[in-house]
Structure 1
Amino acid sequence: MLPTTSDRPSASPIQVVAGLGCRRGCSLDELLDLLIHSLGQHELTVDNLAGLASIAHKRDEASLHGLAEHLALELVFFAPEQLSAYLAKTGGNPLSQATTGSPAVAEPCALALAANMGIAPRRLGERTRSASATCALATFTDTSI
């Protein structure tokens, strides 16, 4: 269960973003469960989330939009060429390359969004998976503070 607004602290000390990849038709519940699990591995909650990202190929995926709406977060989509600077740090696979135009999705999307939101983006742990989705977290230093 997500915390209510009254349960949320006024400011979360660690801000993270999530890069998400999923198969067509992946459910909102599966994405949410994976995201909460991924955050929990680092003793974080949805309160620490500053944004969500995926690849442009998934722009029409209803569950991604539903997750962003449910969490009241911005969802940013990146074209494969926008992710190229972040691929050396993430690896990849041929299936993802053939399907989306990028050899990896979750990790480079998280890093690209973190770079857009601040400075010094870095992955937070390894990517996590469920049956139909992947999630990677990235942190950044907020320059507006």
Structure 2
Amino acid sequence: MNTAPALVVGLGCQRGCDVDTLLDLFNTTLKAHGIDRQRISALASIDRKQAEPGLLALAKLLNLPLRFFSAEQLMAYTSRLSHKSAAAYAHTGCHGVAESAALALAEQLGQLPATLLITRQKIARATFALACTG
């Protein structure tokens, strides 16, 4: 039985955000927190981003599964977010994509309650969060 915690990165991005921007945010944030990128189990986002070229390219480049959740599924995590964005809600129907997607997938993979290890990190065109179980 694998007891290693599930480490999941949640990502949000503006339409057309390129893979280099997402990769830089991914690498910079993990490095700043001393986390080896090999420890990441999967990527998560909102289902509205299923065809977003930058996200799909990042998952392929990192060789990680990318899972998507509906706004309704992500709304269940609103009370656990470090930041509730009115702009995110207006565009997506949930109060935060990166954090809620990370929590949702970490709990799905780990079969345990998840916590945010890295809260929302925002750059001009994208957001990053890291959740873990265990």
Tell me whether the two structures share a fold, i.e. TM-score over 0.5: yes
- 8 Å contact kept, 1:14–1:48: no
What does residue 120 of structure 1 align with? 113
Q: Among residues 49, 57, 80, which one is paired with 2:40 in the alignment?
A: 49
What CA distance in whole angstroms lies between the structure 2 residues aligned with 1:99 and 1:120? 27
Aligned length: 130
Counterpart check, 1:133 vs 2:119: no
Structure 2: gaps spanning 5 or more residues? none
Q: Among residues 87, 95, 98, which one is paired with 1:103 in the alignment?
A: 95
Q: Among residues 47, 61, 65, which one is paired with 1:74 in the alignment?
A: 65
Q: CA deviation at 1:14?
A: 5.7
Letter of the 1:65 counterpart? L
- 8 Å contact kept, 2:6–2:109: no
What CA distance in whole angstroms lies between the structure 2 residues aligned with 1:24 and 1:58? 8
Q: CA deviation at 1:15?
A: 4.2
Q: Among residues 22, 45, 62, which one is paired with 1:31 in the alignment?
A: 22
Structure 1: gaps spanning 5 or more residues? 1-12
Q: CA deviation at 1:48?
A: 0.9
Aligned Cα root-mean-square deviation (Å) = 1.6
- Deviation beyond 3 Å, 4+ runs, structure 1: none
- 8 Å contact kept, 1:36–1:45: no
What CA distance in whole angstroms lies between the structure 2 residues aligned with 1:23 and 1:87? 20
What CA distance in whole angstroms lies between the structure 1 residues aligned with 2:36 and 2:13? 21
Of all paired residues, the percent bearing the same amino acid is 42
